[in-house]
Amino acid sequence: MTPPALPFNIQKLGYIEYQVTDLERSRDFYVDIIGLFETARDSERVYLRAIEDREHHCIVLKRAPRAGVAHFAFKVESEQDLDALEAHFRKLERPMRWIAAGERRAQGRTLLVQDPLGFPVAFYAKLEPVEWFLQKYHLHRHGCPTRLDHVNVLTPDAQKGYEWYCNGLGFRPAEITEGDPPESRIWASWLFRKSTVHDIAVMTGDGPAVHHAGLSLMEPMGVIRACDALAGAGYADSIERGPARHGISNALFVYVRDPDGNRFELYTGDYLTTDRNAPPVRWRLDDARRQTLWGPPPPRRWFEESMAVSSIETGEEIAKQPALMRAIPTYVS
């Protein structure tokens, strides 16, 4: 399959905005224990970045009455790309609105849309440059994430989600999980714009909902150090799954729930996807190695719980629709 020619260039997943109920507590968790850096804060938000970041934020914590994901955002190459995206979504008659440059701290003009899968997604071309912490090693702590790498979302029809991201937005598949033959519809796909395994994974599940955001680490010991730091600080129960290794993407991972229950993954060990035309790696849903190359089986709640998303028009939480395929593999007890 040749990717369609599209009049815009999405570079990568840019940031995610988590809703948190206690801004101070969450800031301390993400900074002191997880090892992100605080770029800025105000009464409503804390802006965080990771050691590879040369721009203002990759995680935003937003004060809110409940947990969840306010939106996630893709960075595009140019302002023109934003206009092309506006035209693209207008044709699809999706709800959208512009956020003016500077209305969001350090951020250029931003297009916020409710995408065809129901997700609140932002697009922007500019984010203020900031000091690079890559070689400020004396400030690195514990797991010390390098970057926001991907977001993993749940949608009732993951085949449709795959098609939207590939055909609608120009993503390429690195890995694919197929449901039961003979149908073999796509049960999940790992899709990239930048050259890692994914910027977004689209999985079958009750949705629209966000399963987790993935933060990459510099090295495998970072996974161990993150667990140690969590346990030392009294957050051992925040470790939901892992350490273990995924067959998909080869990630050595641990899944963590923040103090509000928002989920993120700390991982390392995936590979470059330099060849955009390479055939995707294919897995069967019920192949246990797919999810767990080694390690304890995933707990059931890892499949059953997810982060709600909201309407960009009303701010109301969007009700999740049930998955069209079986959402839990046979190897989960």
Q: Pick between residue 100 and residue 236 the one whose CB is nearest to its own copies.
A: 236
Binding-site ranges for its own copies (CB under 8 A): 11-12, 32-33, 52, 54, 75, 77, 134-142, 146-147, 194-196, 218-221, 224-225, 227-233, 236, 239, 241, 243-245, 247, 250, 252, 268-269, 271-272, 274-278, 289, 292-296, 299
The two structure tokens encoding residue 327? 């959402």
Q: To the nearest whole angstrom, how small is the minimum distance from the Cβ of residue 123 to its own copies?
A: 15
Q: Tokens 């994914």 identify what position?
A: 198
Q: To the nearest whole angstrom, how small is the minimum distance from the Cβ of residue 172 to its own copies?
A: 13
The CA-based angle 77-60-219, given to 5 degrees, is 80
**Within 13 Å, how many C-alpha atoms sit on residue 183's CB side?**
10
Q: Pick between residue 152 and residue 196 the one whose CB is nearest to its own copies.
A: 196
Q: Pick between residue 24 and residue 42 the one whose CB is nearest to its own copies.
A: 24
Q: Tokens 């000091």 identify what position?
A: 131
Q: d(Cα 118, Cα 80) in Å, to the nearest integer? A: 24
Q: Pick between residue 207 and residue 243 the one whose CB is nearest to its own copies.
A: 243
Q: To the nearest whole angstrom, how small is the minimum distance from the Cβ of residue 239 to its own copies?
A: 6
Q: Pick between residue 112 and residue 125 the one whose CB is nearest to its own copies.
A: 125
User: What are the backbone dihedrals phi and psi of residue 321, each rounded to the nearest 5 degrees, phi first?
Assistant: -95, 145
Q: To the nearest whole angstrom, how small is the minimum distance from the Cβ of residue 64 to its own copies?
A: 26
Q: In this structure, how many other beta carbons lie within 10 angstroms of the beta carbon of residue 62?
A: 17
Q: To the nearest whole angstrom, how small is the minimum distance from the Cβ of residue 125 to its own copies?
A: 10
- Beta-strand ranges (E) seen in the chain are 10-20, 37-41, 45-49, 59-63, 68-76, 96-99, 110-114, 120-124, 145-155, 172-178, 186-192, 200-204, 209-217, 239-245, 252-257, 263-268, 281-284, 307-308
Q: To the nearest whole angstrom, how small is the minimum distance from the Cβ of residue 161 to its own copies?
A: 23
Peptide bond preceding 208 in cis form (omega within 30 of 0): yes
Q: Pick between residue 62 and residue 303 the one whose CB is nearest to its own copies.
A: 303
